Amino acid sequence: MKTTILFDLDGTLTDSAPGILATLKYALKKQNIIPPDDLDFVLGPPLMDTFCNTFQMSQQSAEQAYNDYYKLYAEKGMYQNSVFEGVKEMLVELKKQGKKLAVATSKSQDFAQQIIEYFGLSEYFDFVSGNYLGQRDTKAKVVRYALEQLQEMPECAVLVGDRMYDIIGGKEVGVFTIGVLYGYGDKEELEQYGADVLAETPQDVVNIILNWDKKAELSD
């Protein structure tokens, strides 16, 4: 039985693209980098990786860009955001079923906490795990930290996410993975990286988890 459900934030719980992209364009322009027209590829990976690897910034420039991003995102960007339809109902149902719920995001932990509080979702979560001062800079580290704090074993947990980074991180830790198709990834990407199952809607996520529980009960 799956007792703990971990959720990615951006593209899984909330549609945060407008704020992320607007803030990123600002940070890039501050570094005299002209942003490409299509920036959707930045939705998912850690921001410092994007600055260093995608835009070939030096460590010093990347840190300055991150600081510029952080300041504007705190003031404005994180509120250019909305909860996906059906997400609140999904969380309510899973809590009714006795599940431990946690956020597991590559976003800065303080931003993640503020966002779920702003949208009235904090009451559903037992814990929020995110990047903290660069110490949890991969999805696998974020997931491990969440499981440690919840005192849960990987085989009893599920990670729900919308991008390959979620699937890769979940598999590294040894949790089951659900790839959602209403976020920023697509079916081809999620299948390529080995999502255990795909969900088209938040209600599908609930149905998948409860179906796993029924199968577990029958096998006992």
Q: How far apart are the C-alpha atoms of 163 and 184, rounded to whole Å?
A: 7
H-run or E-run covering 96: helix 87-96
Both tokens assigned to 44: 């998912």
Residue whose C-alpha is closest to residue 183's, from 168, 196, 165: 165
Both tokens assigned to 211: 């179906």
Q: How far apart are the C-alpha atoms of 11 and 182, rounded to whole Å?
A: 8
With tokens 């599940």, the residue in question is 99
Q: 3-state class of 180 per DSSP?
A: strand
Both tokens assigned to 167: 């699937």
User: Of the residues 8, 68, 166, 204, which is catalytic?
Assistant: 8
Q: How many CA atoms lie within 13 A of 52 on its CB side?
A: 9
Per the annotation, the verdict on 196 as an active-site residue is no
The catalytic residue positions are 8
